[in-house]
Amino acid sequence: DAGVTQSPTHLIKTRGQQVTLRCSPKSGHDTVSWYQQALGQGPQFIFQYYEEEERQRGNFPDRFSGHQFPNYSSELNVNALLLGDSALYLCASSLIQPNTEAFFGQGTRLTVV
């Protein structure tokens, strides 16, 4: 079992650009959540996808959007990048029921310059 895989591992973008991050969930999982972890902080919830729909959303602007595909993999898109978007972006997969444990990927380190 490959667990949760994310790509790319590192990314450098220029302010104003757009970025897409990808996540493949753990085998058998149907729910994907995305988190932003700024340096020295805990993960902050961005949104959660289930059945290709955004199910829950945290306090993030509309510049952050996502998608879930029929095979349960997911993408996180960020438009009009700001310097403050520099962070580790974590993907977590779980089962919608019972949703009592999330498995995390290694993350994508995004640097905006």
Partner 1 sequence: AQSVTQLDSQVPVFEEAPVELRCNYSSSVSVYLFWYVQYPNQGLQLLLKYLSGSTLVKGINGFEAEFNKSQTSFHLRKPSVHISDTAEYFCAVMRGSGGSYIPTFGRGTSLIVHP
Q: Which residues bind partner 1 (CB under 8 A)?
A: 4, 6, 33, 40-45, 48, 56, 58, 90, 92, 94, 96, 99-107, 109
Query: For partner 1, which is the closer residue by CB, 11 or 58?
Result: 58
Query: For partner 1, which is the closer residue by CB, 28 or 42?
Result: 42
Q: Using an 8 Å Cβ cutoff, are 31 and 81 in contact?
A: no
Query: For partner 1, which is the closer residue by CB, 58 or 67?
Result: 58
Q: How many residues appear in the chain?
A: 113
